[in-house]
Amino acid sequence: MLFRISTVLLILSALLPQAPRRSVSLVIKGGTVVTMDPAGRVLAPGALAIDGRDIVAVDTPENIDARFSGRESIDATGQIVMPGLINTHTHAPMVLYRGLADDLALMEWLQKYIFPAEAKTVTREFVRAGTRLAALEMIQSGTTTYADMYYFEEEVAKVTKEAGLRGVLGQTIIQFPVADAKTPAEALARTERFLAEFAHDDVIVPAIAPHSMYTLDTATLKAVRALADRTDAPVLIHLSETADEVKTSREKHRATPAQYLESIGFWGPRTLAAHGVWLSPADMMILARRHVGVSHNPESNMKLASGAAKVVGMRRAGVVVGLGTDGAASNNDLDMFEAMRQAAFLAKLQTNDPRAVPARTALEMATIDGARALGMEREVGSLEPGKRADAIAVAMTSARQTPMYDPLSHLVYTTRGDDVRTTIVNGRVLMRDRHVLTLDEAAVLAEARGVAGKVRAAVR
């Protein structure tokens, strides 16, 4: 009898007129969808409908099938589909200095190796080749948005657009003469041109990147704030990275770096401070009050022995903390999965508490909180209808990932960048089944090796 009823229902449903399915540009189904939305939804299995640059639906495969037909589709069976990772602090072209000078503290590393190497080798061509290599690595390891601080940032922007990534790209302002500006005034002028050139871009958010309070004078820092207020551009700065920086600031200004910047009116909206390793509780209160986000860079901080940022304390004080890799010269890669894992491990070791920075928190820092820290939470950071389609699909079937009880645990504690199969930004597929579609991989690697030859000759 039961059989007969179901047969009748099947026949009836076939005879009834079906609501026409909406044609969309891309449907991804078959995998587990980790949304990172406010409810923390995980759909196993789940599916995603994308039209143009936007996510239009996140639902079960049956519901997506009933409502949408994709002109293109991706089968994510055995994979986790999740928001693309957001790297809140890097210096993309510095991938060309990967492994050039290791095992040194920040000031010695910067002053004896990095600044001199940059003085001899940074050119437009260097920046283009370096950004191409960095973009290739980011696409291959699941980063979809990154915040950058470097020179010739317009070249970084052009390559980032070609590669298809989303970038909050900061033109560096620093006190001493550098490759793209002889004075801070010149750097400010070129920054203003850069902000105008990429205003209202679909994937590039042009930004101002004053290097730090210890490499800039008060007048320039104030000029940066004035420019930011006038243009509404984000500001990216290094802050309290080392104990030395804080000590020097106390001697010179009788204030911590955060307090000094507060006293000159530097803090404002859409400002991101990288590192914050040595922030005091009072500093954290300033940043929370000024809505300044912090980029936590556990690997760089460990490698340069800068210290362990108080992530738990910052979050408790109301500071939004995103995650970053820093430049590849102090990491030495741009793998955000590794950054998540190290952020979790470092916090546990630092606090003697295994519950400090659990997997979900590490994932939040690499996705939605990174978006918040950059003021982009309405556009990216989670898989929700109406947001931009920045998503990745990550394979979960290797020996290292078997079995899987908890997708979040696997994403943080066993996954590597190389496990990413598909990378999508703004609805555009940048990598499909490990095949990067927007860059010629062999050409990018050959070009980078060519530049490395010049770097080697210059620093010898």
Q: Rule CB under 5 A: which residues touch Zn ion?
A: 326
Closer to Zn ion by CB, 32 or 331: give it. Answer: 331
Dihedral sign, Cα of residue 239, residue 245, residue 250, residue 251: negative
Dihedral sign, Cα of residue 113, residue 119, residue 123, residue 128: positive
Q: β-pairing, 54-59 with 47-51?
A: antiparallel
Least Å distance, CB 339 to Zn ion, is 13
Q: β-pairing, 204-210 with 166-173?
A: parallel
Closer to Zn ion by CB, 245 or 326: give it. Answer: 326
Closer to Zn ion by CB, 68 or 151: give it. Answer: 151
Closer to Zn ion by CB, 326 or 335: give it. Answer: 326
Closer to Zn ion by CB, 153 or 326: give it. Answer: 326
Closer to Zn ion by CB, 326 or 338: give it. Answer: 326
Least Å distance, CB 276 to Zn ion, is 12
Closer to Zn ion by CB, 258 or 436: give it. Answer: 258
Closer to Zn ion by CB, 331 or 426: give it. Answer: 331
Least Å distance, CB 53 to Zn ion, is 30
Q: How far apart are CA 41 and CA 380, in angstroms?
A: 16
- Cβ–Cβ < 8 Å for 385, 398: no
For residue 299, give the nearest of 320, 280, 277, 282 by alpha carbon: 277
Least Å distance, CB 205 to Zn ion, is 18
Helices (H), 211-297: 218-231, 243-253, 257-263, 281-289
Encode 349-414 in three state secondary structure. HHHCCCCCCCHHHHHHHHCHHHHHHCCCCCCCCCCCCCCECCEEEEECCCHHHCCCCCHHHHHHHC
- Cβ–Cβ < 8 Å for 150, 91: yes
Phi, psi for 166 (deg, rounded to 5) = -100, 135
Least Å distance, CB 274 to Zn ion, is 5
Edge-to-edge order in the sheet of strand 271-275 = 85-90, 143-150, 166-173, 204-210, 235-239, 271-275, 293-296, 321-323
Q: How far apart are CA 362 and CA 365, in angstroms?
A: 5
Q: Show the tokens assigned to 381.
A: 């950071």
Least Å distance, CB 317 to Zn ion, is 22
Closer to Zn ion by CB, 326 or 379: give it. Answer: 326
For residue 322, give the nearest of 392, 372, 384 by alpha carbon: 372
Least Å distance, CB 324 to Zn ion, is 8
Least Å distance, CB 297 to Zn ion, is 7
Least Å distance, CB 92 to Zn ion, is 11
**Which residue's beta carbon is nearest to the bound Zn ion?**
326
